[in-house]
Amino acid sequence: MTGSTTPAQARRPGAPDCGSGTVLTVGLALVLLMLLAALLLLAQAAIGAARAATAADLGALAGADAARNIITGEPCGVAEDIVVQHHAVMVSCIVGGPDGEIVEVRTRVILAGAWGAATGHSRAGPPP
């Protein structure tokens, strides 16, 4: 048995595979951390998109109420106030329709990091 190793010899310090479990564990931990970071970045982008859409929806609804004289104020001014309260920027506001009661609002929310900005678009007015 000169060329073979016994189980006791394989477990002794300095064996070729000594510490490989630690390296594998550290590698798996790094992979899991990278996946978690990617998941958090995607969640941040989704939250930004939801914030932009919500600001656009609420701004368009408030602007349409102002256009129909349900509340006081100029439709785009009212819409912008609502959009700013939701920490977004109003990109455009268009009042249209046959009676000028339809308001279309576009918003943008600046995201941290390399994502840039999330945008929202909404249109509100009386039912047809």
Distance between CA 38 and CA 8 in Å, rounded? 44
pTM surpassing 0.85? no
Contact 98/79 with Cβ under 8 angstroms? no
For the stretch 68-107, pLDDT in tens is 999 999 999 999 999 999 999 999 999 998 888 999 999 9
Distance between CA 76 and CA 101 in Å, rounded? 11
For the stretch 107-128, pLDDT in tens is 999 988 777 899 999 999 888 7
Is a pLDDT exceeding 90 seen at residue 2? no
Is a pLDDT exceeding 90 seen at residue 36? yes
